[in-house]
């Protein structure tokens, strides 16, 4: 069972990807994680990726897919995997599709966790992070016991720049321009499944498991 997770930043696709991985005993693969692992291990692919990153350039799609294919060839991916954060663009999706086809393989499901922009802005601008220990809260859903203070270490809680409404809106703009077209791409492939991401996390997961079986 090979799954691609889609959804805007803050839609909760990462949380769902982890839950899917746990339930079906398949790896949750984030491109960021595999880049870091290859760089840390000093692999040839990792060093090649690092040379781009050190120059502040994006890692080319072909190299990203090579690193990804290297990861999914490992034994723990024998029963499938969940891709989180890749592909982000149509060219990446095409490179991935072609590379998998050469191996007689394919993606089985593309799951879109659908959340309207206004919900995402509200959701993310309600997040608070501890400046000391990094614990995270939400002023509505997971509030600290004392407003503005971390339960764990007593330090100040802040709204991170990443979660400020103007930053979130900018990230959503990029998402709509670059990543949302993947919904049409995977619809045409006949594997797109959409779930309502505005409901409770457990209910979103129940919707996904009813699709995956």
Active site residues: 13, 88, 127, 160, 171
Strand partners, 123: none
Extract the tokens encoding 48.
């090649």
* 22: Cβ contacts below 8 Å, ≥ 6 apart: none
Question: How far is residue 170 from each of residues 7, 50, 51, 84, measured CA to CA in Å?
Answer: 15, 26, 28, 21
Q: Which residues of 77-103 are buried (b: 16+ CB within 10 A; e: fewer)?
A: eeebbbbbbbbbbeebbebbbeebeee
83 HSE (CA, 13 A, CB side): 26
Extract the tokens encoding 164.
């400020």
> How many distinct helices (H) and strands (E) make up the chain?
9, 8
Say if residues 132 and 25 touch (Cβ distance below 8 Å). no
* 126: Cβ contacts below 8 Å, ≥ 6 apart: 138, 139, 140, 141
């Amino acid at each position: 069972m090979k799954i691609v997770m889609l959804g805007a930043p803050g839609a909760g696709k990462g949380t769902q990807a982890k839950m899917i991985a746990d339930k079906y005993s398949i790896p949750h693969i984030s491109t960021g994680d595999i880049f870091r692992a290859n760089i840390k291990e000093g692999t040839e692919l990792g060093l090649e990726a690092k040379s781009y990153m050190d120059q502040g350039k994006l890692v080319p799609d072909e190299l990203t897919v090579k690193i990804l294919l290297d990861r999914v060839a490992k034994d723990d991916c024998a029963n499938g995997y969940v891709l989180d954060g890749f592909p982000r663009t149509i060219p990446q999706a095409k490179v991935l599709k072609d590379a998998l086809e050469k191996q007689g393989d394919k993606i089985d499901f593309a799951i879109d966790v659908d959340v309207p922009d206004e919900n995402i802005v509200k959701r993310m601008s309600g997040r608070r992070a501890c400046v000391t220990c990094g614990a995270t809260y939400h002023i509505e859903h997971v509030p600290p016991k004392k407003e503005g203070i971390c339960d764990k270490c007593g330090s100040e809680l802040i709204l991170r720049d990443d979660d400020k409404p103007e930053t979130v809106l900018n990230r959503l703009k990029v998402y709509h321009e670059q990543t949302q077209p993947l919904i049409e791409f995977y619809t045409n492939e006949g594997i797109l499944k959409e779930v309502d991401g505005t409901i409770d996390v457990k209910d979103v997961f129940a919707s996904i498991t009813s699709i995956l079986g």
